[in-house]
């Protein structure tokens, strides 16, 4: 969030009107600055190009092409922490845009340079449920390890239920039953009805085409399937957005 400071040249008590902030960035200006950054790259001035891309993001925070380029340049300059932050933002935005293909690629790149957060692992697991059940389960199990280390038993139960929906083995059912008994009925009763349905049904449950009988996907499937992660994230103060 941009915090506007006080201009020391303005005397106290004097109100100076500020020009209204434009609702949309000036696309012509953004294009000019992107071209400038590209020229800096061509001259081998990688650090300067990165600085320009980061400034563009401040003016145009929705520009994921620039965010991707900035993340790549951070990696090339060994700015790992900054790259991880940018890749994390990019992943979340791609998931929100229901762009599963790009989100998966971004997650894999992120995982090469850092241990993704448990929230990111849950989101990635959701992306995989229909295409790679085995990897989805492995990703959820990895998220469980993080949650267990943090002592987040309620979130562990919710993720365990996702695992059971994918692999309803006796062992997994027992894991859920044991943790449910430990937490007590009070927690189970507090799960919102919409989340209970998502937990019991595969995320992004598909309708069947009446003529062919094949699954019919909807553009909102991925967005709807994120309810589990949204519920989990709401329990983590670090994930709440202002």
The answer to whether residues 126 and 227 belong to one domain is: yes
Mean pLDDT of 5-28: 49
| Residue 201: pLDDT over 60 | no
Q: Judge whether 14 lies within some domain.
A: no
Q: Which of 11-15, 146-150, 230-234 has the highest mean pLDDT?
A: 146-150
Q: Judge whether 19 lies within some domain.
A: no
Q: Judge whether 141 lies within some domain.
A: yes
More confident residue, 208 or 154: 154
Question: Which residue, 168, 86, 152, 163, is CA-closest to 119?
Answer: 152
- Please, which pLDDT band fits residue 17 given cuts at 50, 70 and 90? very low
Q: Using one digit for the tens of pLDDT, what is the confidence trace for 101-157? A: 999 999 999 999 999 999 999 999 999 999 999 999 999 999 999 999 999 999 999
The answer to whether residues 102 and 77 belong to one domain is: yes
In the chain, the percentage of residues whose pLDDT exceeds 70 is 66
The answer to whether residues 49 and 136 belong to one domain is: no
pLDDT at residue number 184: 82
- Please, which pLDDT band fits residue 27 given cuts at 50, 70 and 90? confident
Contacts of 51 (CB under 8 A, 6+ apart): none
The answer to whether residues 145 and 178 belong to one domain is: yes
Q: Judge whether 41 lies within some domain.
A: yes
């Amino acid at each position: 969030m941009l915090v506007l400071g006080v201009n020391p040249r303005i005397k106290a008590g004097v109100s100076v009107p500020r020009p209204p902030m434009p609702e949309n960035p000036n696309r012509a200006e953004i294009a000019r600055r992107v071209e400038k950054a590209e020229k800096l790259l061509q001259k081998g001035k990688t650090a300067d190009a990165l600085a320009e891309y980061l400034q563009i993001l401040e003016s145009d925070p929705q520009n994921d092409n620039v965010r991707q380029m900035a993340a790549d340049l951070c990696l090339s300059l060994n700015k790992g922490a900054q790259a991880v932050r940018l890749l994390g933002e990019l992943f979340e935005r791609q998931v929100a845009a229901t762009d599963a293909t790009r989100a998966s690629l971004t997650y894999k790149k992120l995982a090469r340079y850092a241990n993704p957060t448990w929230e990111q692992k849950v989101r990635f697991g959701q992306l995989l449920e229909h295409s790679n059940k085995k990897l989805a389960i492995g990703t959820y199990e990895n998220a469980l390890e993080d949650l267990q280390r943090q002592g987040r038993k309620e979130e562990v139960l919710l993720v365990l239920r996702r695992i059971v929906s994918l692999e309803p083995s006796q062992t997994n059912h027992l894991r859920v039953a044991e943790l449910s008994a430990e937490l007590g009925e009070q927690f189970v009763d507090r799960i919102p009805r919409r989340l209970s349905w998502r937990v019991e049904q595969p995320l992004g449950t598909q309708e069947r085409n009446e003529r062919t009988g094949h699954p019919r996907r909807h553009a909102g499937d991925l967005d709807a399937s994120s309810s589990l992660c949204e519920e989990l994230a709401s329990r983590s103060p670090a994930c709440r957005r202002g």
